[in-house]
Structure 1
Amino acid sequence: MTVLSAFPITPSNADGQVDLGALRTILQPLVEAGVGSIGLLGSTGTYPFLARHQRRRAVEAAVEAIAGRVPLLVGVGALRTDEAVRMAQDAKGAGAQAGLLAAMSYTPLTEDEVFEHCATVARDSGLPLCLYDNPGTTHFRFTPELVGRLARVPGIVAVKSPSPEPEAAAEHVRVLRAAVPAEFTLGYSGDWNAVEALLAGGEAWYSVFAGLFPRSALAITRAVEIGDAAEARRLNARLAPLWELFRTFSSLRVAYACADLLGLCRAEPPRPILPVTEEVRRQIADTLATLELS
């Protein structure tokens, strides 16, 4: 089974206060489409920019809006281990089913430091954890050996890896699968390369695209599930103009522009991240009009 996890933005104002009404509006189509889970407060959800109480408010609002219809995965990363423990405890207390834990740092971390960080959060929070390998933002990469060590820690149940280039996908999945127990879930992000990782045996797609267009994303995962690689690749190739925008301007900035263009909310990304320019916004609007996504 291939699980689609939709990762939406977290709309907030310039002071970092979450717009709970807009968040509910964004979540409703994801629930109605029947995504496998919702990834709240991921990188596109700008979790590092939100204070603890704002994160907690967002989780509480999401739990209320979802009403148990879809599992909720919540970003619980923080620079300090004790802070990450508190974020995970908050998420669990509010009703989240799992946490997403990145190796956030200012000082470069060693593998032993990341192991202790993740193991401590799992032990002290009691919240099932998905490791978040996101070297583009954290500048730390989880090696297969480290994932294998952590996969044997009680409560650490999955990993979210950046999708490798298509030609390297099968080997990436093979090496990771050999390092972890059979029940440990291998998932992939980086929408533009995710299809090949899923076809190679990845079990979850952690998708920014699905946070905006859940039905179009589900069509891809269903093609993967039934073994129709040609259809999955065809649907993915059709999205090449959007993938190019994601790569060029970052999926986070494009997601904010899309949310506005789709009428979901008028939020802007938290400073110092700036919205896309009007020229880029027009490119995004033209792309959406051509693709006719849902």
Structure 2
Amino acid sequence: MSIFHGLSAFPITPADEHGEVDTDGVMRLTAHLSANGVDSIGLLGSTGTYAYLSRAERRRATSAAIKAVGGKTPLIVGIGTLRTDEARYLACDAAAEGADGLLMAPVSYTPLTQEEAFQHYVAVAEATSLPLCIYNNPTTTHFSFGRNLLERLAEIPNIVAVKMPAPAEGMVTQELAELRDSPIGKFVIGYSGDWIATEALLAGCDGWFSVLGGFLPRLAKAMVTAAQEGDVSTARQYQQVLEPMWALFREFGSLRVAYAATNLLGLSAAQPPRPLLPLAASDQNRVSEALRACREIMAE
């Protein structure tokens, strides 16, 4: 089975105000996720603030995570960056440290054309033998993958998966069926946008690329297991309990909430990179209440 199946947990990357990665903190977080049974760890994703870290710091984070998991849990490393040559270097760095797979978003300043994105992915996929997942995240990249582009990329060796964003409400099942019935169906198809995770998992997607999994791995894994076993009632019960958390994700962005939650759980004391600011105390209290409900359902 592909390393992109199941629950891929995306933790924050603890770092100081100068962007120097706290390697001990990375090791604690990734070891925690591995010990709690996630199927893979998505290091240096959007939640991992890859765009705010230098090449050297990304490599230090990757090295620390590799040491922490010790081969017990596949490590997928984000390599998104503006320049194609830099993305190739990042891919090679990740491979050299022992990563199991790669995740790449089409980062840009000048908006990319579909052809430019295609050539970018082809060049980076050729840099290593590691399997590469397309990170389709138009909210942050402002780039939308056309169906034709995804179909072309499905023919490229090493490009084996796609991380899809949340579609319009209630449209996951239809979208997934359409993707499966096209050449894009060659990909392992996973979803992000945690608030639609239950819908996507029950519709039969291959994987959940989860912010929640980065700080509540047991609950996220339980959701995946319930959906895979066809336990619709339990899966929807988890969804209901998580509605306050999803509301916070939508209001503040999942990244800010992930930092607050990770700290409130005692897993870190890191702050988001400036210019991002921590949540206000009153909003952190809301995160704390949402976490309390999550802990209660897992204690039952």
Q: TM-score range by the shorter chain?
A: over 0.9
Alignment of 1:40 with 2:43, yes or no, is: yes
Could you say which residue in structure 1 is the equivalent of 2:211? Answer: 208
- Of the candidates 79, 82, 86, which is equivalent to residue 82 of structure 2? 79
Alignment of 1:220 with 2:198, yes or no, is: no
Once the two structures are superposed, what CA deviation does each residue of 1:219-255 show, in whole Å capped at 9, x if it has no partner? 1101111112232122112100111111101110011
- Of the candidates 140, 158, 163, which is equivalent to residue 160 of structure 1? 163
Residue pairs, 1:1-294, within 5 angstroms: 3-180=6-183, 183-292=186-295
Q: Letter of the aligned partner of 2:155 in structure 1? A: R
Structure 1 residue 126: deviation in Å?
Answer: 2.8
**Are the counterparts in 1 of residues 150 and 184 from structure 2 also a CA contact under 8 Å?**
no
**Are the counterparts in 1 of residues 34 and 73 from structure 2 also a CA contact under 8 Å?**
yes
Q: Letter of the aligned partner of 1:263 in structure 2? A: G
Q: How many residues align?
A: 294
Structure 1 residue 182: deviation in Å?
Answer: 5.2
Q: Letter of the aligned partner of 2:176 in structure 1? A: V
Q: Letter of the aligned partner of 2:159 in structure 1? A: I
Cα RMSD, aligned residues only: 1.4
**Are the counterparts in 2 of residues 89 and 126 from structure 1 also a CA contact under 8 Å?**
no
**Are the counterparts in 1 of residues 191 and 197 from structure 2 also a CA contact under 8 Å?**
yes
**Which ranges of 4 or more aligned residues in structure 1 deviate by more than 6 Å?**
none
Fraction of identical pairs, as percent: 49
Aligned-partner Cα distance in 2 for 1:182–1:21: 39
**Are the counterparts in 1 of residues 25 and 268 from structure 2 also a CA contact under 8 Å?**
yes
Q: Structure 2-normalised TM-score? A: 0.95
**Are the counterparts in 1 of residues 77 and 94 from structure 2 also a CA contact under 8 Å?**
yes
Once the two structures are superposed, what CA deviation does each residue of 1:25-73 show, in whole Å capped at 9, x if it has no partner? 1112211111110000000000010000000000001001000000000
Aligned-partner Cα distance in 1 for 2:146–2:233: 31
Aligned-partner Cα distance in 2 for 1:74–1:108: 24
What SS is found at the alignment partner of 1:10?
A: coil
Aligned-partner Cα distance in 1 for 2:42–2:111: 26
**Are the counterparts in 2 of residues 86 and 125 from structure 1 also a CA contact under 8 Å?**
no
Q: 1:109 to 1:186 in 2, by over 3 A?
A: same
Aligned-partner Cα distance in 2 for 1:291–1:130: 30
Once the two structures are superposed, what CA deviation does each residue of 1:154-180 show, in whole Å capped at 9, x if it has no partner? 010000011223411111111222233
Q: Letter of the aligned partner of 1:280 in structure 2? A: D
Q: Letter of the aligned partner of 1:255 in structure 2? A: A
**Are the counterparts in 2 of residues 144 and 179 from structure 1 also a CA contact under 8 Å?**
no
Aligned-partner Cα distance in 1 for 2:185–2:248: 36
What SS is found at the alignment partner of 1:243?
A: helix
Structure 1 residue 13: deviation in Å?
Answer: 0.1
Aligned-partner Cα distance in 1 for 2:160–2:259: 30
**Are the counterparts in 2 of residues 166 and 196 from structure 1 also a CA contact under 8 Å?**
no
Structure 1 spans left out of the alignment, 5+ residues: none
**Are the counterparts in 2 of residues 89 and 127 from structure 1 also a CA contact under 8 Å?**
no
Structure 1 residue 121: deviation in Å?
Answer: 0.2
**Are the counterparts in 1 of residues 201 and 227 from structure 2 also a CA contact under 8 Å?**
yes
Aligned-partner Cα distance in 2 for 1:55–1:219: 30
Q: Letter of the aligned partner of 1:256 in structure 2? A: Y
Structure 1 residue 184: deviation in Å?
Answer: 2.0
